[in-house]
Structure 1
Amino acid sequence: MRRIINIACYETMYIFKDRTLRLLLLAVPLLYAAIFGLVYSAGVLTDIPLAIVDLDRSKLSREVVTAFQNSSHFKPVPSVTTYDQLEQAMRNGTVRAGIVIPEHFAQQAEQHRSTEIAGIYDASNLLWGYNTRKYLREVITDFNSHHTAAYLAGLGISQHQVQDIMNTVSLNYEVWYNPTFSYATYLYVGLLMMVLHQICLLSVSLTVTREKERNTWIQYLASPLPNWQIFMGKALPYFVVNYFNFSLLLWLAVRFVQVKFEGSLGLVLLLGLLYDAIITSLGFFISLHAPNSLQVTRYLMLLSVPIFITSGFTWPHTHIPLAVNALARLMPFTWMAESIRLVTVKNLPAAYLVNHLLVMAGMTLVALTLAACFSKRRRPPVHDGVIVNSDTFYPGIK
């Protein structure tokens, strides 16, 4: 145990000595979390810029305009009053949606003839598009209900009869798990897990490559220490820091970004422990076999986006091609992202996550075995390309 602590202390001293590595481990996760938190802090889209073009200018059309003005989802833009202005405003992004009330709107409504209000919305951004369409329908549905109720009351039908007629068939919405449709709850925690994934992998993957480039790895290979002790000593500081970041970023997500967190704290901490062990071990394994620091940096940067996109966190894995889905299931992020959502958003107990826990435990065992069982046969460093370091010297220059 003392040998492991000695190696861990050496690695910890190097972390605090190396400014770049220190910032990478301690500052970058917080910086990313702050940036993402500011972006998704609103959670729900409101005050959507709306242009209203009233070509009828009747009492009924003004009631429609009032209905949209009273909606908390929209923010009418009074400067846009014609269709040409609406088209231009949609192009330059001044408005995201528009309502065009046609001429003779009130006349056709009084004659009980079918009449249409044109709803136009910008779907270049799907979040704007889906939410705007939903909000437009809500306002028009509410307006139709009030207008129909007023018409029936004008025919002498009692209020009780009007309610019976209007409520013949109704739909009562009951939204589970994310009732506010918060985009922060949907996406933010997954982004944090990806940040931890990349930061931990990158930092741990530079441990052995750094020693190789400085020709100091030979002292570990020539030592009588068992392989697993070398691995434990080198990886322990990064494991501790990454687990601290995991706990801290989740606390910040709940405290300041208002992300939903209703699951078992113990289960979340267990998932974080397994996830941290997997990526720390894999990072050390990568560092053992990577020729130099530059190769590690290149490949990890290339892998980050595919791992996130194919994980099924933003797009259902049931609608991802089987081959891609099978590859994604080999990645620890896929299981962690899904598990953390099931616990924190759906508030599911451990009984519903048995498969996830078993898979992640299996991945932990495999990753630990790969990291701890390495050959002590020396491999000369590869000098092709630039060596990534943060010291005061330049590679190849004495």
Structure 2
Amino acid sequence: MFRKQSQSKGRTLRPSQQRRDWRVGPFSFKRFMTLMQREWRLFTSNQVAMLIFIGAPVAYALIIGLVYKGAALRDLPVAVVDLDNTPLSNKLIDALDANQYIRVARVMPAADNPRSLMVDDRMAAVITIPDRFEADIQQKRHPEVNVDVDGANMLTANYASTGIQTTLAVMNAGMEIEGLKKKGTPAAIAAEQFESFKITINRYYNPSSNYLLFLFPGMLGTIMQQVFLIVLALSFAREYEDGTFRDLVRYTRRPLNLLFAKTVPYFLIGIAIWFPLINIFFPAFHLQMPANQWLFYLVSVLFLSAVTFMGVAVSIMMKNQLKATEVLMVIATPSFIISGQTWPLEYMPKGVQMLSNTIPLTHYLQAFRAMTTYGATAVELKPQITALLILNGVFLLMAWGALRYKIKRAHII
């Protein structure tokens, strides 16, 4: 019997008698469908993944469509300094106000510093009609209309320039042609001589229309916010996954102590990265640095702390790292589009504006542009500083409340 067993063990089976391994066998449609069904069950069991995969494209398409719904900027506010105050200058002002791209928001008899209207009153441009404008035209002296355009936002500057130049050119031609026709000049000849007044356009705050200056700060700030949110998404969520949350709380039962102990290292690393990044790359690319360095540091600290508390609040609320990262990326992805860095925030729907104001990046980029292009002071940046302080408080309170709840739920307190 033992011999038979040994013989059977040592006997080599023919290939047809060997059992085939189904994993390396021929293609089976049934097995393929089974695997697909398994993957579908895994996907549908992850609610966050389903929300992002299905809801995010719809939500982003809706947001982008609402942001750029107007297709073109209209009714950009401009100021007119009318030093002449005659029927002809009033006619010119009415023509400017009728243009689709601009609206005359203010008319003043004089202005000591027209450029200050761009900074303080957020005018897209300032048109100055000179003294004796009507009289000089009648006497063929060709007076000069001066146009100062705010070039900080290239998009608004281009629309404002187009609207102003078109209106002034039409008025210029119309005045000259009508004057020549009254003198008996044939219409064809009159149409060739159509300059009643000169037009001078000056661009300030990025006069060369440097696209790098326009885009670089916004993209850099967006990347910094996303990096912060990704890293901080892992802070508390990893403790839950690894089962070390109870061990963490044994060090202290105070939520604020835990909160700052977990966030301060990331915050300090962020400062150590962000400040040298600006101080190295801005001069390297010949970009204007903020005039007030200490104000820049203050606003940057408020921005980084707000992003830190925002990220850690979501990390505390989510059960694992993947979900925390997914939620924060949903928040961060459209932040640049709705920040107002390219398309002006005031031309977006109210709902989008409200959403934008809850994201730290919006207020930081507004402050950053004001510091680099206008040389804004702390008083002028009060709205942005106040907004960042409020967001810091709100996100800190959310993180503290969520962490306190998690500790109580774990029966630690």
TM-score, length of structure 2 as denominator length: 0.50
Residue 377 (structure 1) aligns with: 408
Measured in 2, the distance between the counterparts of 1:345 and 1:291 equals 44
Residue 283 (structure 1) aligns with: 311
Deviation sequence 1:18-47 (CA, Å, 0-9, x none):
xxxxxxxxxxxxxxxxxxxxxxxxxxxxxx
Letter in 2 for 1:237: P
Contact kept in structure 1, 2:288 and 2:372, CA below 8 Å: yes
Deviation sequence 1:75-123 (CA, Å, 0-9, x none):
xxxxxxxxxxxxxxxxxxxxxxxxxxxxxxxxxxxxxxxxxxxxxxxxx
5 Å-filtered alignment, 1:284-299, equals: 284-299=312-327
1:341 aligns with 2:376: no
Per the TM alignment, residue 367 of structure 1 is displaced from its structure 2 partner at its CA by 2.1
Measured in 2, the distance between the counterparts of 1:173 and 1:248 equals 38
Aligned with residue 350 of structure 1, among 367, 378, 386: 378
5 Å-filtered alignment, 1:46-85, equals: none
Q: Which has the higher contact order (CA 8 A, sep 6+)?
A: 1
Letter in 1 for 2:277: L
Change (3 A) 1:271 1:262: closer
Per the TM alignment, residue 200 of structure 1 is displaced from its structure 2 partner at its CA by 0.7
Residue 219 (structure 1) aligns with: 247
Deviation sequence 1:346-392 (CA, Å, 0-9, x none):
21111111111111112112222222342213469xxxxxxxxxxxx
Per the TM alignment, residue 251 of structure 1 is displaced from its structure 2 partner at its CA by 1.4
Measured in 2, the distance between the counterparts of 1:212 and 1:232 equals 18
Measured in 1, the distance between the counterparts of 2:325 and 2:255 equals 25
Letter in 2 for 1:370: M
1:323 aligns with 2:354: no
Contact kept in structure 1, 2:221 and 2:361, CA below 8 Å: yes
Aligned with residue 292 of structure 2, among 257, 264, 275: 264
Measured in 2, the distance between the counterparts of 1:224 and 1:315 equals 47
Deviation sequence 1:185-220 (CA, Å, 0-9, x none):
111011111111111111012011111111011112
Per the TM alignment, residue 280 of structure 1 is displaced from its structure 2 partner at its CA by 0.8
Give unpaired runs (5+ residues) of structure 1: 1-125, 142-164, 381-398
Per the TM alignment, residue 305 of structure 1 is displaced from its structure 2 partner at its CA by 2.6
Measured in 1, the distance between the counterparts of 2:315 and 2:326 equals 13
- SS of the residue aligned with 1:174? strand
5 Å-filtered alignment, 1:161-172, equals: 169-172=197-200
Measured in 2, the distance between the counterparts of 1:185 and 1:272 equals 18
5 Å-filtered alignment, 1:151-190, equals: 169-190=197-218
Per the TM alignment, residue 224 of structure 1 is displaced from its structure 2 partner at its CA by 3.5
Residue 310 (structure 1) aligns with: 338
Contact kept in structure 1, 2:233 and 2:328, CA below 8 Å: no
**Percent of aligned pairs with the same amino acid:** 23
Contact kept in structure 2, 1:208 and 1:284, CA below 8 Å: yes
Runs of 4+ with deviation above 4 angstroms: 165-168
Measured in 1, the distance between the counterparts of 2:344 and 2:410 equals 44
- SS of the residue aligned with 1:246? helix
Per the TM alignment, residue 242 of structure 1 is displaced from its structure 2 partner at its CA by 0.9
1:203 aligns with 2:231: yes
Aligned with residue 191 of structure 1, among 205, 219, 224: 219
Contact kept in structure 1, 2:303 and 2:364, CA below 8 Å: yes
Calculate the aligned-residue CA RMSD, in Å. Answer: 2.8
Change (3 A) 1:334 1:296: same
Give unpaired runs (5+ residues) of structure 2: 1-153, 170-192
Measured in 2, the distance between the counterparts of 1:277 and 1:339 equals 16
Letter in 1 for 2:310: L
Measured in 2, the distance between the counterparts of 1:262 and 1:361 equals 21
Letter in 1 for 2:364: M
Measured in 1, the distance between the counterparts of 2:291 and 2:222 equals 20
Contact kept in structure 1, 2:229 and 2:308, CA below 8 Å: yes
Measured in 1, the distance between the counterparts of 2:332 and 2:251 equals 36
Contact kept in structure 2, 1:221 and 1:378, CA below 8 Å: no
- SS of the residue aligned with 2:200? coil
Letter in 2 for 1:377: K
Measured in 2, the distance between the counterparts of 1:303 and 1:292 equals 17
Deviation sequence 1:270-327 (CA, Å, 0-9, x none):
0111011111111111111111111122222233331111111110112111111111
Measured in 2, the distance between the counterparts of 1:367 and 1:302 equals 17
Letter in 2 for 1:279: V
Measured in 2, the distance between the counterparts of 1:224 and 1:328 equals 36
Measured in 1, the distance between the counterparts of 2:336 and 2:199 equals 36
**Computing the radius of gyration over CA atoms, which structure comes out larger, 1 or 2?**
2
Letter in 2 for 1:209: A
Residue 145 (structure 2) aligns with: none
- SS of the residue aligned with 1:291? coil
Measured in 2, the distance between the counterparts of 1:262 and 1:237 equals 27
Contact kept in structure 1, 2:237 and 2:318, CA below 8 Å: yes
Per the TM alignment, residue 235 of structure 1 is displaced from its structure 2 partner at its CA by 0.6
Q: How many residues of Structure 1 are paired with residues of Structure 2 in the alignment?
A: 224
Measured in 2, the distance between the counterparts of 1:195 and 1:306 equals 12
TM-score, length of structure 1 as denominator length: 0.52
Contact kept in structure 2, 1:192 and 1:249, CA below 8 Å: no
